Amino acid sequence: MPQPAPKTDARTKLLEAALSVVRAKGYSATSVDELCAAAGVTKGAFFHHFKGKNELGVAAADYWSEMTGALFANAPYHDHADPLDRVLGYVAFRKALLKGGVPDFTCLVGTMVQETYETAPAIRKACEHSITGHAATLEADIEAATRERNMAPDWTAKSLALHTQAVIQGAFILAKATGGAEIAADSMDHLRRYIEMLFRVGTGQAKHLTDGDSK
C-alpha cells in the first residue's frame, strides 16, 4: 500500500501486445480493439497513452529498438578479443535466435516498414532508425577488423553492416513464405561464409590467414 507496486502499466502492456500481434498479423491488420484485448486494457487506456494508432506504431518501433538493443548489448559475442570474431559471433547469435514459431523470431520493424513506408512517414522513420541504429553497432567491429588487418577493401564497413541486416530481413521473408526457419538458417550460413571470405581473401592488397580453416 505505501509502496507503489512495480505493476506493469497499460502503456507497456500495449507495447508488449503490439510486438506479438503485429509480428503475427501485420500492422494494418491489427486493430486497436484487438491490441487492447491482447493487452487486457480498455480502449480508453489506449487513447490515453497514444494519440492514435500510428503513434503506437512509432512507440512500438522505439520500444523494439530498446528491447533488442538490450538483448544484443548483453549478448556474449562481444567478449571476443578479435573484432572479426565479434562480427562472426553476431551472425552466429542471430542464427541461434531462430527458434520457436516464425512470429517469435521475426523482426517487428522489418514487418512494419513494409506496410507503412509510403503511408506513415513517422513509422517509416522509426523503423529506419531501428535498423540503421542496430547496424551501426556492427560497424565499429567491422571497421576495426579491417584496420587490424591493414585491409583497404572496396566496400565500406557501413555497407557491410547494412548488408547483414538485408540478409537477415530477407531470411525472415523466406521463413514466412516457407513456414519454417531452415531456409533462414541456410542464408545466415551464407552470410557467415561471405564475411569469412572477405577477411581471408581481401579484394585488393589485403591478405589474411595463410594457414587452414578456422573451425
Partner DNA sequence: GACAACATACCAACCGGTCGGTATGTTCAT
Partner DNA sequence: ATGAACATACCGACCGGTTGGTATGTTGTC
Chain residues that interact with a second copy, rule: CB under 8 A: 24-29, 102-103, 109-111, 113-119, 124, 127-128, 131-132, 155, 159-160, 162-163, 165-171, 173-174, 176-179, 183-184, 186-187, 189-190, 193-194, 197-198, 201-205, 213
Name the binder of 2 from a second copy, DNA, none, CB < 5-8 A by kind.
DNA
Name the binder of 79 from a second copy, DNA, none, CB < 5-8 A by kind.
none
Cβ atoms of 45 and 36 within 8 Å: the answer is yes
Alpha carbons within 13 angstroms on the beta-carbon side of residue 160 total: 26
Cβ atoms of 168 and 188 within 8 Å: the answer is yes
Cβ atoms of 111 and 101 within 8 Å: the answer is no
Amino acid at position 211, single letter: D
Neighbours of 202 (CB within 10 A): 18
Q: Is 100 in the site for DNA (CB under 7 A)?
A: no
Q: Using the CB atoms, write b or e for 119-148: b if 16+ within 10 Å.
A: ebeebbebbeebbeebbeebbebbbbbbee
Q: Is 15 in the site for DNA (CB under 7 A)?
A: no
Question: What is the C-alpha end-to-end distance of the chain, expressed in Å?
Answer: 58
Size of the site for DNA (CB under 7 A): 23
Neighbours of 172 (CB within 10 A): 21
Residue 95 φ/ψ, nearest 5 degrees: -65, -40
What SS3 class is residue 29? coil
**Which of 16, 24, 25, 32 lies at the binding interface for DNA (CB under 7 A)?**
32
> Which residue's CB is nearer to a second copy, number 69 or number 103?
103
Q: Is 174 in the site for DNA (CB under 7 A)?
A: no
Name the binder of 159 from a second copy, DNA, none, CB < 5-8 A by kind.
a second copy
Q: Is 75 in the site for DNA (CB under 7 A)?
A: no
Name the binder of 64 from DNA, a second copy, none, CB < 5-8 A by kind.
none
Q: Is 43 in the site for DNA (CB under 7 A)?
A: yes
**Which of 16, 24, 25, 47 lies at the binding interface for DNA (CB under 7 A)?**
47
| Binding residues vs DNA (CB under 7 A) | 1-2, 4, 9-11, 30-34, 41-45, 47-49, 51-54
